[in-house]
Amino acid sequence: MVSAAPRSHLSSHHQPLPTEYQTTDQGRAAAEAYYSNTSPATDTMASAKLTLQSTLPILNSPHTMPRLGFGIYRSPRDVCVASCLTALRSGYRHIDSAQFYQNESEMGEAVRKAGIPRNEVFLTTKILSAAGSVDKTYAKCANSVQLIDPGENGYVDLFLIHSPNSGAKNRKEMWLALERLHAEGKARAIGVSNFGKGHMEEMKAFATVWPPAANQIELHPWCQQREIVEYCNSHNIIVQAYCPLVRNLKAHDETLVGVAKKHDKPTGQVLIRYCLQKGWVPLPKSDTPERIVANADVYGFELDGEDMATLDSLDQGERGAIVEAVSNA
């Protein structure tokens, strides 16, 4: 079994988080407070420091991840560039694509059109299916890198396995291909999406890079996935939240609307702020320019302890998922 890199290889802020902070409630906010030698007394104290420029350290890496991302799930090619440009001009510095979305090249094109230096934007993509061998799967991933950041020195900041559902053999094939990409500098960090505890533990038998840098899962008040979130926190795996806006299906939920009215904010902003204060990295998606801008305007208010507890109480477990809750078997 191959474990994480020896502790001596880690910088001081990548040391394992003390057990008392490894809880779902404190999560990454407590981790940030611990790593910066500040008091992790409350979630809201840590979250008060959040800005659009806030980042999280990536385990075993000198690089960081912006706390807020912009999702482009199935964003049509003819509008994706415009949507990404709106996001970048609104201050987002983190965009999330995938091979399945068929808009990797549009994401890269938008960064070049925006004129923002490549190293100032965090770009993610994902592989959904293996190609039949590690070499073929590596080539498939390397092609994504070239679509996003053409040239000899092109890279992505994070490359994920999109889903564990293709089976153990294919999960291993995809991870070994990503490790090769990572070793060559074409992926600065590698991680997973929709992985449960069993999938994570399975990787130890063959992985050179473990734990994964991130696990992207469905997260919002109705689907909090506490077991896998706690597991990720205990291993310093960044938790990314897709569908943080629940695809607007809960915009009229009485409890959510009540919290939004208290702060005089749209429900979408409350949901994004909730994710941030939980220590997750939300990836709100929209192709409507006004909503893209509004979804980044979440730093002028805070949810207090009562608000967070109220939203926490909405959890429905697996029943609350609108896409997929992970399997922790």
Sign for the CA dihedral angle at 93, 193, 317, 31 comes to negative
Asked if residues 228 and 217 have their Cβ atoms less than 8 Å apart, the reply is: yes
User: What pLDDT, on the 0 to 100 scale, is given for residue 23?
Assistant: 37
What tens digit of pLDDT does each residue of 198-228 get?
Answer: 999 999 999 999 999 999 999 999 999 999 9
Residue of 183 and 8 predicted with greater confidence: 183
Alpha-carbon span 190 to 48, nearest angstrom: 29
Rounded to an integer, what is the distance from CA 261 to the centroid of its chain?
28
Q: How much is the average pLDDT of 156-182?
A: 98
Instruction: Of 38-47, 91-100, 201-210, 289-298, give the lowest mean pLDDT range.
Output: 38-47
Alpha-carbon span 253 to 34, nearest angstrom: 35
Q: How confident is the model at residue 21 (pLDDT cuts 50, 70, 90)?
A: very low
User: What pLDDT, on the 0 to 100 scale, is given for residue 274?
Assistant: 98
Asked if residues 110 and 100 have their Cβ atoms less than 8 Å apart, the reply is: no
pLDDT greater than 90 at residue 8? no
Catalytic residue among 34, 35, 92, 101: 101
Which stretches within 184-314 are classed as H helix? Answer: 197-203, 226-234, 254-263, 267-278, 289-295, 305-312
Q: How confident is the model at residue 2 (pLDDT cuts 50, 70, 90)?
A: very low
pLDDT greater than 70 at residue 117? yes
Catalytic residue among 162, 182, 199, 220: 162
Q: How confident is the model at residue 98 (pLDDT cuts 50, 70, 90)?
A: very high
Q: How confident is the model at residue 46 (pLDDT cuts 50, 70, 90)?
A: very low
Averaged pLDDT of the chain: 89
162 is known as an active-site residue: yes
User: What pLDDT, on the 0 to 100 scale, is given for residue 49?
Assistant: 87
How many CA atoms within 13 Å lie on the side-chain side of 142?
A: 16
pLDDT greater than 80 at residue 328? yes
Alpha-carbon span 145 to 139, nearest angstrom: 10
Buried b (16+ CB within 10 A) or exposed e, 306-320: ebbebbeebeeeeeb
pLDDT greater than 70 at residue 306? yes
Is the peptide bond prior to 211 cis by the omega test (within 30 degrees of 0)?
Answer: yes
Q: Which amino acid is at 7?
A: R
124 three-class SS = strand
Asked if residues 137 and 172 have their Cβ atoms less than 8 Å apart, the reply is: no
Alpha-carbon span 242 to 226, nearest angstrom: 15
User: What pLDDT, on the 0 to 100 scale, is given for residue 39?
Assistant: 31
Apex CA 238: angle with CA 5 and CA 111, to 5°?
105
pLDDT greater than 50 at residue 180? yes
Token pair 């709106």 is at which residue?
86
User: What pLDDT, on the 0 to 100 scale, is given for residue 5?
Assistant: 36
Give the contacts of 108 (CB within 8 A, at least 6 positions apart). Answer: 123, 147, 148, 149, 150
Q: How much is the average pLDDT of 303-317?
A: 98
Instruction: Of 6-15, 236-245, 293-302, give the lowest mean pLDDT range.
Output: 6-15
Which stretches within the chain are classed as H helix? Answer: 27-35, 43-47, 77-89, 104-114, 134-148, 168-183, 197-203, 226-234, 254-263, 267-278, 289-295, 305-312
Q: How much is the average pLDDT of 87-96?
A: 98
What are the backbone angles phi and psi of residue 196, rounded to the nearest 5°? -95, 180
User: What pLDDT, on the 0 to 100 scale, is given for residue 51?
Assistant: 97
153 three-class SS = coil
